[in-house]
Amino acid sequence: MTPPPGITLAGDYALGGAPLFRANLHLRAGEWTCLLGRSGTGKTTILRLLLGLPTGGHFAGQIAATDGASLQNRVSYMAQSDLLLPWLNVLDNVCIGARLRGTIPDRARAAELLRRVGLSGAAHHMPRQLSGGMRQRAALARTLCEDRPVVLLDEPFSALDAGTRADMQDLAAQALAGRTVLLVTHDPAEAARLAHQIVLLSPQGTAVWPTAPQSPPRAIDAPDTIASQSRLLAHLRCAA
């Protein structure tokens, strides 16, 4: 894996000719940035711009990695929908990246990731046999299997029960340590736990929000984590 770069996305985005947001976002190299904002402000759009995917609108600005190299083939993405292929079993879905590239999948690594997300017993099940939370865990395993220096996650833990969510947050924090991660979330507790940097997106622009002093992942019940989460929630409620 090449060293994870920092990434800057700065510019104006318009939809149907109307401005949607102005972004000045810097993802620090090897750190987790959590992006929060009201529904429809453009968080997923920012992920799609970073991926070079169509968005339906127009972006005038620049997207650049700090090492000057293209982001192509350096990014893995977990979308809001799990995008599991219905005709492949769970293990083959986790290996799909290698299959699409025409390389030999590392099935042992995929099986180990399935074990870590608690899906060993479902490796040979078809996606239709899984619950929503199980599908989300399978999609997380697929994302982790890609082993890319930059990882974009769009509400990856939203379908999980509270206990599994905390476990998957720990797993992702450990598995993606040292990578440049952008996590879109609506959950202030998740951001307070996982972020090196919290960024809020609104029609007025992007704003950096303070994090607790400890390095992530922070203990759920640490007073600083709870205080950080409460302040963020209060702010988001006021901004709503």
Ligand X SMILES: Nc1ncnc2c1ncn2[C@@H]1O[C@H](COP(=O)(O)OP(=O)(O)OP(=O)(O)O)[C@@H](O)[C@H]1O
> Could you list the residues that contact ligand X (CB under 6 A)?
15, 20, 37, 39-45, 55-56
Provide the β-strand partners of residue 10.
24, 62
In whole angstroms, give the CA distance from residue 85 to residue 78: 14
Task: Estimate the crossing angle of helix 132-145 against helix 162-175, to 10 degrees.
Answer: 0
Provide the β-strand partners of residue 207.
200
Pick the closer one to ligand X by CB: 25 or 95: 25
* Nearest approach, Cβ of residue 105 and ligand X (Å): 31
Of 190, 189, 185, 192, the residue nearest 209 (C-alpha): 192
Residue nearest to ligand X (CB): 56
Pick the closer one to ligand X by CB: 56 or 86: 56
- 2: alpha, beta or left, given left = phi > 0 and alpha = psi -120 to 50? beta
Query: What is the four-CA torsion angle of 148, 201, 41, 8, rounded to 10 degrees?
Result: -40
* Nearest approach, Cβ of residue 1 and ligand X (Å): 28
Pick the closer one to ligand X by CB: 185 or 225: 185
Tell how many helices (H) and how many strands (E) occur in the chain: 8, 9
A 10 A CB-CB count for 136 gives 26
In whole angstroms, give the CA distance from residue 28 to residue 26: 6
* Nearest approach, Cβ of residue 184 and ligand X (Å): 6
Pick the closer one to ligand X by CB: 145 or 151: 151
Q: Is residue 119 classed as helix, strand or coil in its secondary structure?
A: coil
* Nearest approach, Cβ of residue 116 and ligand X (Å): 27
Pick the closer one to ligand X by CB: 57 or 216: 57
* Nearest approach, Cβ of residue 153 and ligand X (Å): 12
* Nearest approach, Cβ of residue 43 and ligand X (Å): 4
8 A C-beta contact, residue 75 and residue 51: yes
Parallel, antiparallel, or unpaired for β 75-78 and 58-65?
unpaired
Provide the β-strand partners of residue 201.
206
* Nearest approach, Cβ of residue 14 and ligand X (Å): 10
Pick the closer one to ligand X by CB: 45 or 180: 45
Pick the closer one to ligand X by CB: 4 or 37: 37
